[in-house]
Amino acid sequence: MALTDNSGERRPRAPFAPRVLAFAKATALTLGSIAVTMLGLVFITFVIGRVMPIDPVLSIVGEQASRATYDAAYEQLGLDKPLFVQFLYYLWDVVRGDFGVSLLNARPVAEDIARVFPATLELATFGVLIGVIAGIPLGVIAAVKRGSWIDQIARVVALVGYSMPIFWLGLMGLLIFYGILGWVGGPGRLDIFYMDIVPTRTGLILVDAALAGNWDVFRNAFSHLILPGTLLGYFSLAYISRMTRSFMLEQLSAEYVTTARVKGMSERAVIWRHAFRNIRVQLITVIALSYANLLEGSVLTEIIFSWPGIGSYITTALLSADMNAVLGGTVVVGMVFIVLNILSDLLYRVFDPRSK
C-alpha cells in the first residue's frame, strides 16, 4: 500500500520488518528499564532492612529468650549467610509476592497489604479527581487572565496549598466540619454500625456498597471520605493548577496563538482547541506524579483521620519494629510509583506521536 504526500505523489510505506524491529527494540528497552528499576527498588529496601537499628531476631523471640533460641531463629531467618545470598533469597521472595509474616498479627504481610491498600487507593483517587477537575480549569483561567484578581487568587491558593501543614489543616477540618458543624463523618472509613454489612469485593467501600445496592453504607462511607479526600485534593489542586498555569502561559505567548487571533479565530477556540491541546501531554505527567505522591504521601492524613490505609499500616509497623511489614509496604508503594510513571509514559506516546 502506498501513501500520498502533500504534493499528491504516492510514496511507498516503510517496510514492515523494520517497523516490527523498531517496536520490538523499544519494548525490550522499556521492559529492561522496568526490570532494572524494580531491582534497584528491592535492593534499596533490602539495605534499609539491614541498616535499621532493629534486631529482627529479638523482635521475634523477645529479649528474654535464651541464647539457643536466639541462634535457632537467627539461622532460620538466614542471617548467618553472606549478605549477597541473603539478598538473593529476599529478591526471590519478593518476586513470588512473599514479604514474610507480620510480627504484630502473625499474618502474611502480602495479605495485610491487599487488605489496607484499597483504602489508600480510594482516598488518593478521590483527591486526584478533585485536583484535576478544579485545578486544570483554575490554571487555564489564571493564565488567560494573567495579572487579574482571578490570577492572584489562583496563586494564593497554590501558595497556601504548598505552605500549610497538612496535619494542622486536618485537625482544623475535623474540629470545624465534624466536631462543630457535623457536616461530615468523623475518623475512620465507616461508623461502627455500618461495618461488615456489605460483602468485600474490591476493598473500595464506595464501589462495594454500590455493587451491593446498599446506599446507606455508600452515603456513610462518602461522608467519611469527603474531608480527608478534599484535604488531599486541595494539595493536588495546588500543584496541578500551578503547573497548568505555567504551561498555558508558555503556549499563549507562542507565535501560532498570535497568528490564530489575527485570523479572527474565537478566543475560546484559541485557548482550548490550540493552546490547551498542546499541554495535554505535559499534564499527563503532572497528574500521574500527583497521583503517585498522594498514594505514597498520605501518611499524615491517614493517621489524623484514622484511615486504615497503607500509610498508617507502615507507620504502625515501623513503631512496632515489624520490619517485614515496613519493607513489604515500601516495596509495594515503590512499585505503584513505577507503574504510574510507565503508564504516563505510554499515554505520552499516545497523545504525542513525535515521541514514538
Region 221-250: what's the mean pLDDT? 90
DSSP letters of 128-150? Answer: HHHHHHHHHHHHHHHHHTTTSHH
User: What is the Cα–Cα distance from 74 to 277, expressed in whole angstroms?
Assistant: 60
Check residue 132 and give its pLDDT.
92
Q: Name the pLDDT band for 168 (thresholds 50, 70, 90).
A: confident
Confidence check: pLDDT of 4 > 50? no
Mean pLDDT of the chain, nearest integer: 81
The number of residues in the chain equals 356
Cell numbers found for residue 70: 536466639
Check residue 125 and give its pLDDT.
92
Region 259-280: what's the mean pLDDT? 83
Q: Name the pLDDT band for 130 (thresholds 50, 70, 90).
A: very high
Confidence check: pLDDT of 45 > 70? yes
Check residue 22 and give its pLDDT.
65
Q: Name the pLDDT band for 2 (thresholds 50, 70, 90).
A: very low
- Say what percent of the chain tops pLDDT 70: 88
Region 102-114: what's the mean pLDDT? 85
Region 50-79: what's the mean pLDDT? 73
Check residue 343 and give its pLDDT.
79
Q: Which phi and psi (to 5°) does residue 11 adopt?
A: -125, 145
Q: Which phi and psi (to 5°) does residue 122 adopt?
A: -65, -45
Region 300-327: what's the mean pLDDT? 84
Of residues 266 and 115, which shows the higher confidence score?
A: 115
Check residue 19 and give its pLDDT.
60
**Domains in the chain: ranges and CATH:** 41-96 (no CATH), 116-355 (1.10.3720.10)
Check residue 1 and give its pLDDT.
45
Check residue 26 and give its pLDDT.
66
Least confident interval from 43-57, 85-99, 156-170: 43-57
Q: Name the pLDDT band for 18 (thresholds 50, 70, 90).
A: low
Q: Name the pLDDT band for 7 (thresholds 50, 70, 90).
A: very low
Region 151-160: what's the mean pLDDT? 83
* β-pair partners for 3: 11
User: What is the Cα–Cα distance from 171 to 180, expressed in whole angstroms?
Assistant: 12
Of residues 345 and 109, which shows the higher confidence score?
A: 109
